């Protein structure tokens, strides 16, 4: 089963576009619980509410020697029917890119990976060879300083002047021979999200930025979903993980996830009705 098929099945089974980001920050977690135990409790509390999970490699690398073991444990806690995104933002060429792809897809068995296009097609192609796995290319990221580069106007091969993120979106379509590419587009830039969805009506979009970064959920849904009200992977991390620092953290996470899922679904109905 391909990443796209698994994602679609999960969205429909759970009636959800919510992606839960598992980014463990020990300073915000309840005391006297390990990262693995915390992640497992969050997964068990939310697995019927999520369409996907996203694990940000940085939070596991920061744990030192045990981090990669905890990353693999966490990935294995997630039910087989729910796709898991390895948010590693890899970007290199040649043997290094092939090694990154092999680690994420073979060793850790992630269904999809985030990658940076800055080095060009050479950095993306090794991931695309895994035709059943998703390759989510950073396009219009949610951070404020994304404008430093992504908004710069550049001349495309057709002598057309476009912002850099639009060139990335266009190239993604050209590279998508296996149908396994998606784009990362921040909720904090709704106009760009709308334009990218219009350009790629059937491509999955991973959309961060609706929580702490202040993205508008209604606009995210309106501009991010496809014509069926799907294909938008709306990520939330801190809003769910740290809904409580008490012993009730898992129950609080479930409540936060359920409320966010319901809000998303209300906006979907408004969008496609």
Domain residue extents for the chain: 3-272
Per-residue confidence (pLDDT) for residue 212, from 0 to 100? 78
Give CATH superfamily name and number for 3-272: Aldolase class I (3.20.20.70)
Per-residue confidence (pLDDT) for residue 156, from 0 to 100? 67
Question: Residue 185 pairs with which residues in a beta bridge?
Answer: 140
Contacts for 182 with CB less than 8 Å, ≥ 6 apart: 112, 134, 135, 136, 137, 203, 204, 205, 206, 233
Please choose, from the candidates 69, 78, 14, the residue with its C-alpha nearest in 3D space to the C-alpha of residue 40: 78
Per-residue confidence (pLDDT) for residue 211, from 0 to 100? 79
Per-residue confidence (pLDDT) for residue 31, from 0 to 100? 85
Annotation says 89 is catalytic: yes
- Neighbour-count burial of 111, counting CB atoms closer than 10 A to its CB (0-12 exposed, 13-18 middle, 19+ buried): buried
Residue in 28, 54, 72, 89 annotated catalytic? 89
CA atoms of 4 and 204, how far apart (whole Å): 8
Please choose, from the candidates 241, 198, 182, 237, the residue with its C-alpha nearest in 3D space to the C-alpha of residue 215: 237
* Low-confidence stretches of the chain (pLDDT beneath 50): none
Per-residue confidence (pLDDT) for residue 71, from 0 to 100? 99
CA atoms of 233 and 262, how far apart (whole Å): 15
């Amino acid at each position: 089963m391909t990443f796209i098929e698994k994602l679609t099945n999960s969205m429909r089974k759970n009636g959800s576009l919510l992606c839960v980001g598992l980014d463990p920050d020990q300073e915000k977690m309840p005391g006297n619980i390990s990262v693995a135990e915390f992640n497992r409790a969050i997964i068990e509390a939310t697995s019927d509410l999520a369409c996907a999970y996203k694990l940000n490699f940085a939070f596991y690398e920061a744990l030192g020697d045990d981090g990669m073991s905890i990353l693999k444990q966490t990935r294995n806690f997630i039910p087989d029917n729910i796709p898991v995104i390895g948010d590693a933002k890899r970007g290199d060429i040649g043997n290094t890119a092939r090694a990154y792809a092999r680690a994420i897809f073979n060793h850790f068995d992630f269904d999809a990976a985030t990658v940076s296009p800055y080095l060009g097609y050479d950095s993306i192609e090794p991931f695309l060879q895994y035709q059943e796995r998703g390759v989510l290319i950073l396009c219009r990221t949610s951070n404020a300083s994304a404008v430093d580069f992504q908004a710069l106007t550049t001349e495309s091969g057709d002598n057309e002047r476009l912002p850099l993120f639009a060139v990335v979106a266009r190239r993604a379509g050209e590279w998508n021979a296996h149908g396994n590419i998606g784009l990362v587009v921040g909720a904090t830039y709704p106009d760009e999200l709308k334009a990218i969805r219009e350009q790629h009506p059937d491509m999955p979009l991973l959309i961060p930025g609706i929580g702490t970064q202040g993205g508008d959920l209604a606009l995210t849904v309106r501009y991010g979903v496809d014509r069926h009200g799907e294909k938008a992977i709306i990520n939330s991390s801190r809003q769910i993980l740290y809904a409580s620092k008490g012993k009730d953290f898992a129950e609080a996470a479930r409540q936060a996830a359920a409320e966010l899922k319901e809000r998303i679904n209300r906006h979907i109905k408004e969008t496609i009705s």
